[in-house]
A and B are shown apart, each in its own frame.
Chain A
Amino acid sequence: MHKPAYPHRKAHQSFTPESALDQDLRRDKEDIRANQKPPDGIHRRDFIKRTGLALAGVTAASTLLPSIRRGMAAGANPTEITFASAKFFGKETIAEVVQAYNSSQDKVRVTYKELPPPSSSTEVHQALVQQLARRNGDPDVFTQDVIWIAEFAAAKWALPLDEYFKAGTMKEYFPGVVDACTWQGKLTALPWFVDSGMLYYRKDLLEGLGAKAPETWDQLIDSAKKLTSSDKAKFGFLWQAKQAEVLVCDLVSFIGSNDGSILKSDGKTVSIADDAAIEAVQLMHDFIKKYQISPEDVLSWDEEPSRRPFTAGQAAFLRNWSYVWKVAQNPAESEVVDKVGVVPLPHFPGKKSAACLGGYQYGVNASTKNREAAVEFVRWMSSPETQLRFATQLGLCPTRAAVLDQPQIAQEQPFMQQLKGVFIGAIPRPVTPKYPQVTLVLQSEISRALTTGDVKGALQTAKEKIQAIVKA
């Protein structure tokens, strides 16, 4: 047992050539396997000196091996890359996951640069744009909200990843997410996690009516009206129409559920004033004015104001993101623990349900000087194992369908598995590099349509303005 001859690996490193060290390590392993048989040759003297410590050495060897490897890595100059991401956390932080990657291998060393949390997405966007516009390769890897993917791809800031991730590999992800990661036929982002809009409903209230979870808007209106008119619920259906990004998210799922769209997939044809879209926006207006199942307050509500009455037990239905589930199941904050169900949002008769896709995805800087290392890192970050880790430790829903079926998820985040159906139907917001301008027009015109009731006029104006933007 020669291993304990070098209990201090730093001293060891300083005078042993690497090749010898490699041999050492290999022998180490063989020794352990060969039941502590002492080797012949150059290590004999050491062996004789240290026989007394042989037993301790066995245990020491197994614990020291990984650290020796890391020490070697430092000696072999691993490729240094940087990774910038918005701040997410749960039981673990992103920094800890990156640390895990660093210690899992010795070729790449990643430095994590923390950006503000996703709630300050304007600041995250600004920070990324300022960095990427410099084209100096820093950060090598970044994460981006799905709505920025086209913008970053069109500016040629994001490296196309097709040669590294073939179509076959991409089939393992949810198709909607892969669509969102693709710009003009090129894969320019790699999926990280997904979120989407969904319908929360009160199981107890619907059971009282003898109704099922609604599949069409008519069913939802019917149940909501019955529940509000019999005073079982103060509000029927809560959603968000504040003049903000969330209004566009709601809009996408309403229009999508009528098989309509805002912008056709060519990125140039504006379809926001087509019949399907008009019908959908009219329905949004009718929820408030005609059917009166949504209070006028939704016009000034974003996520949290609409969530509060629902978890206070005042509403029958709520459209919101996946975070609401945890709040609803927390007895300290919720009156409706175990009374809430979740399904995909309803749709128009004969059409399919649509959810607005959200979430952050990986991108590789097109100016990176360490392309291979950066790709290796995102490959690891997007691997089933790491996605599972993000799901169980940070509560971020995996973008790989297979990971959602893992037993650990059933154990740690049982709610996620119910969402599979929702995520499969998730569709992206208009895919265009001018999205930041398009969304401002949509926010103002849809808000106008809903407050004034002039749906056709507002959508026509929106169409003209968006056409001017995407043409330029």
Chain B
Amino acid sequence: MAIAKTLTREANLRPPEIRFRIWRPGPVLLLVPALAAIAAVSIYPVILGLWLSLRDTTLASPEDTFVGLANYQRILSDSQFWNAWAHTMEFTTASTLLETLIGLVIALILTERFLGRGIVRAAMLVPWAIPTVVTSKMFGWLFDGQNGVVNYLLRSFGLIQHHVNWYGSPDTALWTIVIADVWKTTPFMALLLLAGLQTIPHSLSEAALIDGAGPWQRFWCVRLPLLAPTLLIAAMFRALDAFRIFDLVYVLTGGGPADSTEVLSTMTYKNLFSALQFGYGSALSTVMFVTEILIALGFGIFLLQKFKEIGQ
């Protein structure tokens, strides 16, 4: 008994971090199922994708050999890839910027108190709740070249002379898709930013008001800096999501006309599932994967800086 007590006392006297080094199988065992599930659905497919991207596997032919980096070389010299890459970047930048700006405006309005705010907040979420395929069909009709209401309105106001063929012209097709995406996803941004705005203590704005700051100064010097981390996180989510744009393009244009709306996701899909080129398709999706990581890293670094600033 006495020995046991001494031992316990000694154990208590040890610096606390040593306790973590003691091997205890129980907790680790409990983690195994979760780890196995993650490995099966996330790590294994990524590694298999990487492995496939180094082969020339085509499902419908006997070809299936290791080709090293040949698929990646082919990507670099594939004009269609760069075309799709440029469209994806254009789309990501345009939709993220527009959605963040409009979302911020909506959030600033919805954070104020006014009659029927609850209803407006709920109504705002409707576009985001609609399935994208339905949104796509809806915008297909809105921007229809012959009977679309957009053409009708623009013509009634005398802004255009002839009907514009929105989805049939390489100049307008991608922008029409950006508009559809902005309509659909701005509520998501507004919601995130609204949450961010509500964490900023009201007293700060009030203090600024007492110090004689105008509305613009209160926004620019008080609320915006404090909202910046939320803004960056929301924009990062949006950018990563926009980079994978698939359904709107697939339903509305199928990548056309003349590849003017082809994005990386639709191009990868065509190579993987229409042409069944698993090797090349996997290389394309790996490139997408890496680009996504880079985008996330870019935002991440920016975020860390912001956090440091606020910390100081």
Is there an interface contact between A155 and B60, defined as CB atoms closer than 8 Å? yes
Is there an interface contact between A300 and B167, defined as CB atoms closer than 8 Å? yes
Query: Which residues in window 418-468 of A have CB below 8 A to B?
Result: 433, 436-437, 439-440, 443-444, 447-448, 450-452
Contact with A along B183-210 (1 / 0, CB 8 A): 0000000000000000000000000000
Is there an interface contact between A451 and B258, defined as CB atoms closer than 8 Å? yes
CA distance A295 to B276 in the complex (A): 35
Query: Which residues in window 214-257 of B have CB below 8 A to A?
Result: 253-257
Is there an interface contact between A448 and B276, defined as CB atoms closer than 8 Å? no
On chain A, the number of residues with a Cβ less than 8 Å from chain B's Cβ atoms is 34
Is there an interface contact between A451 and B257, defined as CB atoms closer than 8 Å? yes
CB-defined contacts of A72 to chain B, threshold 8 Å: none
CB-defined contacts of B257 to chain A, threshold 8 Å: 241-243, 299-300, 447, 450-451
18 new A-B pairs (CB below 8 Å) besides A129-B60, A433-B60? A130-B59, A151-B60, A152-B60, A242-B257, A296-B168, A299-B256, A299-B257, A300-B168, A300-B253, A300-B256, A309-B146, A437-B275, A444-B258, A444-B262, A447-B256, A447-B258, A447-B259, A451-B260
- Chain A residue at minimal CB-CB distance from B61: A155
**Contact-size category for B:** 20 to 34
Say whether, besides A244-B254, A299-B165, A300-B256, A129 and B274 are in contact (CB < 8 Å): no
B80 CB–A CB distance under 8 Å: yes
CA distance A450 to B168 in the complex (A): 10
CA distance A243 to B167 in the complex (A): 11
Is there an interface contact between A300 and B276, defined as CB atoms closer than 8 Å? no
> 14 A-B Cβ contacts within 8 A?
A129-B60, A155-B60, A155-B62, A243-B257, A295-B145, A295-B165, A297-B145, A299-B256, A300-B253, A309-B146, A439-B274, A440-B275, A447-B258, A451-B260
Q: How far is the CB of B154 from chain A (nearest CB, A)?
A: 16
Is there an interface contact between A299 and B168, defined as CB atoms closer than 8 Å? yes
A133 CB–B CB distance under 8 Å: yes
Q: How far is the CB of A22 from chain B (nearest CB, A)?
A: 48
- Chain B residue at minimal CB-CB distance from A298: B168
Main secondary structure of the interface of B (DSSP, over half): loop
A283 CB–B CB distance under 8 Å: no
Q: How far is the CB of B93 from chain A (nearest CB, A)?
A: 24
Is there an interface contact between B167 and A436, defined as CB atoms closer than 8 Å? no
Contact with A along B47-72 (1 / 0, CB 8 A): 00000000000011110000000000
Contact with B along A234-246 (1 / 0, CB 8 A): 0000000111100
CB-defined contacts of A133 to chain B, threshold 8 Å: 59-60
- Chain A residue at minimal CB-CB distance from B262: A444
Query: Which residues in window 258-291 of B have CB below 8 A to A?
Result: 258-260, 262, 270-271, 273-277
Chain A positions within 8 Å of B, measured between CB atoms, are 122, 125-126, 129-130, 133, 151-152, 154-155, 241-244, 295-301, 309, 433, 436-437, 439-440, 443-444, 447-448, 450-452
CA distance A151 to B271 in the complex (A): 16
- Chain A residue at minimal CB-CB distance from B166: A300
CB-defined contacts of A452 to chain B, threshold 8 Å: 170, 258
Is there an interface contact between B254 and A242, defined as CB atoms closer than 8 Å? yes
Q: How far is the CB of B277 from chain A (nearest CB, A)?
A: 7
CB-defined contacts of B305 to chain A, threshold 8 Å: none
CA distance A296 to B145 in the complex (A): 9
B111 CB–A CB distance under 8 Å: no
Is there an interface contact between B258 and A436, defined as CB atoms closer than 8 Å? no
Is there an interface contact between A443 and B146, defined as CB atoms closer than 8 Å? no
Query: Which residues in window 286-309 of B have CB below 8 A to A?
Result: none
Is there an interface contact between A451 and B61, defined as CB atoms closer than 8 Å? no
CB-defined contacts of B262 to chain A, threshold 8 Å: 444
- Chain A residue at minimal CB-CB distance from B252: A300
Q: How far is the CB of B65 from chain A (nearest CB, A)?
A: 13
Contact of B258 among A126, A130, A154, A448 (CB under 8 A): A448
Contact of B61 among A122, A126, A433 (CB under 8 A): A433
CA distance A229 to B298 in the complex (A): 58
- Chain A residue at minimal CB-CB distance from B164: A296
CB-defined contacts of B167 to chain A, threshold 8 Å: 300
CB-defined contacts of A154 to chain B, threshold 8 Å: 61
Is there an interface contact between A436 and B60, defined as CB atoms closer than 8 Å? yes
CB-defined contacts of A433 to chain B, threshold 8 Å: 60-61
Is there an interface contact between B169 and A299, defined as CB atoms closer than 8 Å? yes
Q: How far is the CB of A126 from chain B (nearest CB, A)?
A: 6
Is there an interface contact between A242 and B256, defined as CB atoms closer than 8 Å? yes
Is there an interface contact between B274 and A297, defined as CB atoms closer than 8 Å? no
